[in-house]
């Protein structure tokens, strides 16, 4: 594969044709991409605010990665199955997952929350790299079933260092599994820059396992869409796995617990602000005459409305009940869980009694 | 009733064969399980009969095997994974502990992961390092996993059926030194309810609680003790998570003395949990503290030392004597 | 005597700083330990002061970190490894269990592996999944490892000195919810001998045995109990492997009642080992069975449920009452 | 790097010049290579026999891999450190490890045995791939120390699938560690052929991590020597890691417990017999006029003598004492070990008493 970065849209918002890849452009599709990116950004900002207000325990912001996520999200078909990492709120949005579900998880209401089967969107995985093997196994199953669809699995630049990810690359290659490895290289793994993780551009990792790796401008939604679509089609057509390295930038902190001022320069952030994934689409929409100020105002208002709605619903989210501890540990019976559940209930009741007794 | 006499390895083989035939979603996977039929031949002939889409020789990567098995289970499959030897399960430990065990709870019960992980375990076969260990405590401590281990061919057959058809992940420990011991397998009727301990021998003076490879040692010890006038009850626990404390309690409240026996190190081993819980349940019934026989706090030794390391008849009888001396 | 008052995190930082200054072979390594100073700032400033050849930001791969630390130790280094959170130690579990723990015995004592693995552990900080676990039993069961955990800043400082300068691999569990609790650190005199439990509060009616984050909870419970006329002795175990049973036994033979307290699940947890061994040692002294307070047999819950899950003052007092009721 | 296989000596025993690599040939050096290969083969055969006779618990034969092992072994300098796998008896020989020590391990007398420091030859590692990380860490230490020497680490084709091996590749690349990854691709991992482990030739794996990978004819001792020497020099010169894939063949069973007839064809074995690593050196020695029948007889007699000596000494090897169980678990004191040691001694003594009492 070429080591050049696939780009369709420069950071000044100009279209650049690409020899190998293409994407059809229409006012509607471009506006939809813009809309989803704007919504993703707005809800992400809302989540950061909600965390500051104590409504969430933690939030890993996707700020700056909207092109990668919305591009990949738009490439997916209904039969495709996604294994996200923990920062893929944009893809969740494209899949139709209620953002409230994602926030509930970071509120500490559940460790997962949504129904993966409903939108073919698996739960977030926090143990770095684990899900890459799950995705590969799922893809092996798809192939066994002769089912349509492919698997897209998301992970970060840091994750590529984990043995599990290399094992997944190898299993996928050996079994020729219909899986697209979608690495969002946001250049940071918490405080560690790419050179602490790898000596070579990450898409090159695929060469060593025997399938194509390709780098795409991760801040160019059109390129991300086109390349992901291409890779998914390859997978569906039985051509095996692909590694996509979406080269992007984590504009914010690693999570709301993190302080990036300790480890990276303000200039770097400024540099990447000028490569903002939304700005360039906005420029293109304007240049093409496909959207005007009124349109952008409408989008902003819609997003605002969604944010307000999300905030309201989150605040109304009840805590789980203590007895839920024991609810889903096993599918079948487990004597110890039953014993502890009963002891716990009795213990809880003794408190209620004590309270009622006016203690 | 269709009873046949089979070595345990062959009983498991027959059980897997039945599972593969009964449900197209059952897949067997692991290192060398296909063409070779596994280093212990437990999967012998399965790839030949069910094809390489059902019985997969995998790359040499335990995390990869369990991780992809989880993915297959998410896609509706029921993978039965073989880990070649006890000491080689640890590269997969992360996938087992953080993913396999927890994903059901994480999904609020929406996801089920019916993955069976078969692990030939235990010593006594004169093997090199890492081939004789008993890591069951490291799995029993982890919520979300079921941990079982048969002691004989009939149980092995049926417990495998229960493991494959159940909807929970099961760590299935196979006592490798009993693979060639023959036993009766009734393919029409399961010998005991799932996750129940059974009384392998009735007695009244003391209870021995064991599982897997040590059940036979305890039965032999009970024989010898009987010759010396001591009536020993032997329990075959069969399952460590859940652990059937009711059966243990009932036995102890009859005999008033309990000795636990396993190959794994005593320190933080199964015997500790059994001792602690039974002492709590049956405090006023115990006439002696629960004594524990097991491995020492050292790495499993080279094979020329394993006789000294492993609990045997004498060590069990020594503990029986000590318990009776109270 | 040079006593300063420091939060535990800072005490460990100072201890690492002293170790790095004292021995050029000490290296600190892990994810984000350098520039960032670790997510809990325990290694804050160390890379700045000792350079990136002594304090290494590593690739994101726990097996790789521990595996290369073993290699460095073979070359004469004394690596102090940070695992970012308890739930992320499992990718390294294979290297820890099959290599780090066993290599000394494998080499007949010719190889020493002075590797310290620091693990911030335990809950109570409102974190997301995998960030609140207490996996100490999974290490204590493994021969060849030492497993320690301080409960206060002074111990943390000195136990780290002992861990780094000793010649055995040490799993060093740091109770993350106590990181910001201040305590006195005497940099001239170690507070207690290595691997000894200490009596954190004297009492005569019942013994509470705890470690790490639960020591404070037990001390608080003892306070409340004192108000109700019960004199509770609190032991801070400090080390789980080896575990100082002598001190526990001495206390129990005085108080005749023992309750163990830890955050980890009770099933196959530390309390089981303590209960089993102390019951064996002090059978005729116990007036009640050893009771165990700890986590339930479920995955560590989402943070909005952790209050229900974690042992707290009330649950400890409930167990105290139950033990006294015998 | 070239994907062609480096070869100096055809399997007919003819020299073929290579554009990139060279090795000086002298009668003495070639005879020494032959001698060591022959000795390795003879002792290996002896071990197989001893296993059959019940003197060993198990033996993993190195038959067929003598060129790879003796070639690599001769490339090593005194300051280099080797991390073997469990089949590297030929390299052990080159390092000066007493073969008895290796046999003691497979007899079950110890789990390791020799002193790694004595010959800069680490203990065998049975958990596939683990030692590759140890080697990388050791090499990182060498570099830190500014010490001379490099690390050579051995592993098999199957091992490349393990996450640990990929992690080691990446650590070595990132830290530019002076380590040579020496993969003996004997084409089988027990019953699994290469295509179950990888989709591409294994030396290619290195590309994805950013260092050179090279395939060498693993049955050509001259090529193995030259390429390993080259890679070790690169490492010592601060040029970082290299992956060598020595393409060879496991002529025998995986171990004495294995039955390869169950999974591979006789023709394949026959094919590789014609590529025997010793035969071609013998032919070359004869063609060059550097050795004659008398020489080969002498070598055979020497090897025979070593084998007899080994057998005699092995048979005289005492078992360890039971108390050794507790000897080396910890460097420092451990109360539990002391307690168990005492209990064990008392228990053992009670038996002696019982025996003495005539029971
Ligand atoms: C196995 C494991 N080790 C460590 C961590 C702690 N951790 C959480 S995120 C992170 C960095 C991940 O970086 P990257 O893969 O680049 O993803 P990004 O956060 O940039 O999206 C680390 C080290 C973890 N979650 N899992
Ligand atoms: C982690 C681990 N899993 C499984 C095994 C069992 N096992 C021993 S050797 C072997 C095959 C190794 O093949 P390869 O790496 O090609 O080396 P070779 O034996 O051919 O020299 C396997 C699966 C093991 N030793 N370690
Ligand atoms: Mg990143
Ligand atoms: Mg091989």
Average pLDDT over residues C267-291: 98
What residues in D contact C71, CB-CB < 8 Å? Answer: 133-141
- Identify the sign of the CA torsion C15, C21, C23, C27: positive
Give the contacts of A249 (CB within 8 A, at least 6 positions apart).
A64, A65, A186, A187, A218, A219, A272, A275
Two structure tokens written together for B252: 């102890």
The overall pTM is greater than 0.90: yes
Q: Measured from the CA of A60, which atom of ligand 1 is nearest?
A: 19
At A2 the pLDDT is 44
Q: Measured from the CA of B94, which atom of ligand 1 is nearest?
A: 1
Q: Choose, from D122, D203, D250, D275, the residue flagged as catalytic.
A: D250
For chain A, what percent of residues have pLDDT higher than 70? Answer: 97
Decide if D137 and C61 are in contact by the 8 Å CB cutoff: no
Is the confidence at residue A1, as pLDDT, over 50?
no
Rounded to whole angstroms, the Cα distance separating D166 from D180 reads 14
Is the confidence at residue D335, as pLDDT, over 60?
yes
- How does DSSP assign C293-314, residue by residue? EEE-SSPPPPGGGHHHHS--HH
| Residues B237-273 pLDDT 10s | 999 999 999 999 999 999 999 999 999 999 999 999 9
Two structure tokens written together for D128: 């596939």
At D356 the pLDDT is 60
A353 phi and psi angles, rounded to 5 deg: -60, -50
B230 phi and psi angles, rounded to 5 deg: -105, 130
| Residues C103-115 pLDDT 10s | 999 999 999 999 9
Decide if A191 and C305 are in contact by the 8 Å CB cutoff: no
- How does DSSP assign A162-214, residue by residue? SHHHHHHHHHHHHHT--EEEEEEE-SEETTEEGGGT-SS-GGGGGGGGTS-EE
Average pLDDT over residues C162-186: 98
Two structure tokens written together for A79: 């039969």
- Give me the residue label for tokens 């009734």: B186
At D2 the pLDDT is 44
At C308 the pLDDT is 96
In chain C, which ranges are continuous DSSP H helix?
8-22, 46-50, 62-74, 93-94, 103-106, 137-140, 153-165, 214-227, 245-255, 270-281, 306-309, 313-324
Cβ neighbour number for residue D27 with a 10 Å cutoff = 12
| Residues C219-264 pLDDT 10s | 999 999 999 999 999 999 999 999 999 999 999 999 999 999 999 9
Is the confidence at residue D359, as pLDDT, over 50?
no
At A355 the pLDDT is 58
Of the candidates D113, D170, D336, which has its C-beta nearest C59's C-beta? D170
Q: Greatest CA span in chain C, whole angstroms? A: 60
At D355 the pLDDT is 58
Q: Which of residues 123-182 of C touch B (CB under 8 A)?
A: 129-130, 137-138, 140-141, 143-144
Report the number of secondary-structure helices (H) and strands (E) in chain D: 13, 8
Give the contacts of D97 (CB within 8 A, at least 6 positions apart).
D114, D118, D119, D121
Query: Residue A199, Cα to own-chain centre: how many angstroms?
Result: 25
Q: How confident is the model at residue A359 (pLDDT cuts 50, 70, 90)?
A: very low
What residues in D contact A207, CB-CB < 8 Å? Answer: 204, 207-208
Q: Beta strand C3-7 with B291-295: parallel, antiparallel or unpaired? A: unpaired
B53 phi and psi angles, rounded to 5 deg: -90, -15
**Distances in Å between the alpha carbon of B156 and those of B12, B32, B148?**
6, 21, 10
Q: Choose, from B131, B195, B256, B262, the residue flagged as catalytic.
A: B131
Decide if A170 and D210 are in contact by the 8 Å CB cutoff: no
What residues in B contact C269, CB-CB < 8 Å? Answer: 141
Q: What is the mean pLDDT of chain A?
A: 95
**Distances in Å between the alpha carbon of B254 and those of B248, B280, B287?**
10, 16, 11
- Residue C44, beta-bridge partner list: none
Is the confidence at residue B87, as pLDDT, over 90?
yes
Q: D320: distance to nearest CA of chain B, Å?
A: 7
Cβ distance A139 to A181 under 8 Å?
no
**ipTM exceeds 0.90, yes or no:** yes
Give the contacts of A135 (CB within 8 A, at least 6 positions apart).
A81, A83, A151, A152, A153, A168, A179, B71
Q: How confident is the model at residue D198 (pLDDT cuts 50, 70, 90)?
A: very high
For residue B262, give the 3-state DSSP assignment: strand
- Contact of A195 with chain D, judged by CB distance below 8 Å, is answered with yes
| Residues A218-258 pLDDT 10s | 999 999 999 999 999 999 999 999 999 999 999 999 999 99
Of the candidates D122, D139, D328, which has its C-beta nearest C105's C-beta? D328
Q: Beta strand C232-236 with C198-201: parallel, antiparallel or unpaired? A: antiparallel
At A19 the pLDDT is 86
| Residues D199-233 pLDDT 10s | 999 999 999 999 999 999 999 999 999 999 999 99
Cβ distance C61 to D167 under 8 Å?
yes
Catalytic residue positions of A, numbered? 250, 254, 263
Q: How confident is the model at residue A358 (pLDDT cuts 50, 70, 90)?
A: very low
Is the confidence at residue D114, as pLDDT, over 90?
yes
Tell me the CA–centroid distance for residue A156 and ligand 3, in Å: 5
Asked about C131 being catalytic, the answer comes back as yes
Decide if B296 and D110 are in contact by the 8 Å CB cutoff: no
Interface test with C, best of A192, A342, A344 (most C CBs within 10 A): A192
Taking phi first (over 0 means left), then psi (-120 to 50 degrees means alpha), and beta for anything else, what does residue D55 get? alpha
What residues in B contact A106, CB-CB < 8 Å? Answer: none
Is the confidence at residue D235, as pLDDT, over 90?
yes
**Residues, beta carbon < 5 Å, ion ligand 4:** D 156-157, 186, 189
What residues in C contact A190, CB-CB < 8 Å? Answer: 31-32, 36, 39
Q: Is D249 in the pocket of ligand 2 (CB under 6 A)?
A: no
Q: Is A174 in the pocket of ligand 1 (CB under 6 A)?
A: no
Is the confidence at residue D358, as pLDDT, over 70?
no
Give the contacts of D244 (CB within 8 A, at least 6 positions apart).
D72, D180, D181, D182, D183, D203, D213, D214, D215, D216, D227, D228, D231
Q: Choose, from C130, C131, C195, C256, the residue flagged as catalytic.
A: C131
Q: What is the mean pLDDT of chain C?
A: 97
Give the contacts of A356 (CB within 8 A, at least 6 positions apart).
none
- Give me the residue label for tokens 């007889």: D297
């Amino acid at each position: 594969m070429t080591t050049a970065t696939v780009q369709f849209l420069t950071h000044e918002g100009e279209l650049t044709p690409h020899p190998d890849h293409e994407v059809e452009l229409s006012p509607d599709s471009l506006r939809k991409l813009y809309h989803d990116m704007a919504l993703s950004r707005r809800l992400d900002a809302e989540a950061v605010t909600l965390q500051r207000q104590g409504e969430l325990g933690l939030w890993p912001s996707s700020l700056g990665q909207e092109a990668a996520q919305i591009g990949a999200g738009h490439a997916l078909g209904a039969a495709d199955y996604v294994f996200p990492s923990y920062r893929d709120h944009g893809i969740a949005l494209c899949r139709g997952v209620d953002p409230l579900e994602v926030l509930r998880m970071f509120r500490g209401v559940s460790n997962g929350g949504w129904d993966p089967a409903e939108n073919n969107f698996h739960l977030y995985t926090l143990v770095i790299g684990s899900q890459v093997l799950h995705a590969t196994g799922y893809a092996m199953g798809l192939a066994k079933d002769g089912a349509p669809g492919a698997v897209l699995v998301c992970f970060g630049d840091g994750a590529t260092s984990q043995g599990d990810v290399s094992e997944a690359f190898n299993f996928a290659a050996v079994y020729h599994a219909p899986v697209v490895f979608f690495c969002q290289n946001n250049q940071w793994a918490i405080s560690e820059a790419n050179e602490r993780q790898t000596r070579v551009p990450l898409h090159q990792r695929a060469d060593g396992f025997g399938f194509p790796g390709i780098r795409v401008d991760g801040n160019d939604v059109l390129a991300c869409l086109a390349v992901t679509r291409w890779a998914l089609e390859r997978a569906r057509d039985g051509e095996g796995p692909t590694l996509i390295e979406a080269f992007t930038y984590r504009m914010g902190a690693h999570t709301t617990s993190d302080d990036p001022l300790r480890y990276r320069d303000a200039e770097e952030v400024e540099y990447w602000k000028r490569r903002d994934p939304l700005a360039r689409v906005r420029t293109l929409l304007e240049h093409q005459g496909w959207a005007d100020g009124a349109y952008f105002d409408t989008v902003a208002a819609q997003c605002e409305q969604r944010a307000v709605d999300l905030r309201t619903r989150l605040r109304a989210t009840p805590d789980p009940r203590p007895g839920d501890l024991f609810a889903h540990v096993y599918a079948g019976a487990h004597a110890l869980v039953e014993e502890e559940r009963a002891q716990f209930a009795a213990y809880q009741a003794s408190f209620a009694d004590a309270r009622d007794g006016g203690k | 009733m269709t009873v046949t006499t089979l070595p345990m390895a062959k009983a498991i083989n027959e059980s897997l064969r039945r599972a593969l035939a009964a449900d197209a979603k059952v897949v067997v996977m692991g290192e060398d399980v296909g063409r070779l039929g596994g280093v212990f031949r437990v999967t012998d002939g399965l790839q030949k009969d069910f094809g390489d889409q059902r019985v997969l020789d995998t790359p040499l990567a335990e995390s990869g095997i369990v991780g992809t098995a989880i993915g297959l289970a998410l896609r509706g499959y029921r993978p039965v994974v073989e880990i070649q030897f006890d000491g080689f399960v640890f590269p997969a430990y992360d996938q087992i502990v953080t993913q396999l065990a927890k994903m059901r709870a994480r999904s609020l019960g929406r996801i089920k992961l019916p993955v069976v992980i078969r692990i030939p375990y235990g010593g006594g076969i004169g093997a090199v390092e890492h081939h004789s260990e008993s890591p069951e405590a490291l799995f029993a401590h982890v919520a979300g996993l079921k941990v079982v281990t048969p002691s004989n061919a009939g149980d092995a057959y049926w417990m495998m059926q229960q493991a494959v058809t159940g909807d929970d992940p099961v760590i299935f420990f196979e006592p490798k030194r009993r693979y060639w011991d023959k036993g009766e397998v009734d393919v029409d009727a399961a010998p005991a309810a799932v996750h129940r301990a059974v009384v392998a021998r009735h007695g009244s003076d003391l209870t021995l609680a064991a599982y897997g490879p040590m059940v036979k040692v305890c039965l032999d010890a009970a024989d010898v003790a009987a010759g010396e006038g001591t009536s020993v009850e032997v329990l075959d626990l069969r399952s460590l998570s859940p652990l059937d404390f009711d059966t243990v309690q009932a036995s102890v409240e009859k005999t008033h003395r309990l000795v636990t026996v396993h190959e794994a190190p005593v320190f933080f081993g199964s015997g500790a949990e059994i001792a602690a819980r039974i002492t709590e349940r049956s405090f006023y019934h115990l006439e002696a503290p629960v004594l524990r026989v097991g491995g020492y706090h050292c790495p499993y030794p080279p094979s020329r030392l394993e006789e000294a390391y492993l609990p045997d008849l004498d060590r069990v009888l020594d503990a029986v004597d000590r318990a009776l001396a109270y």
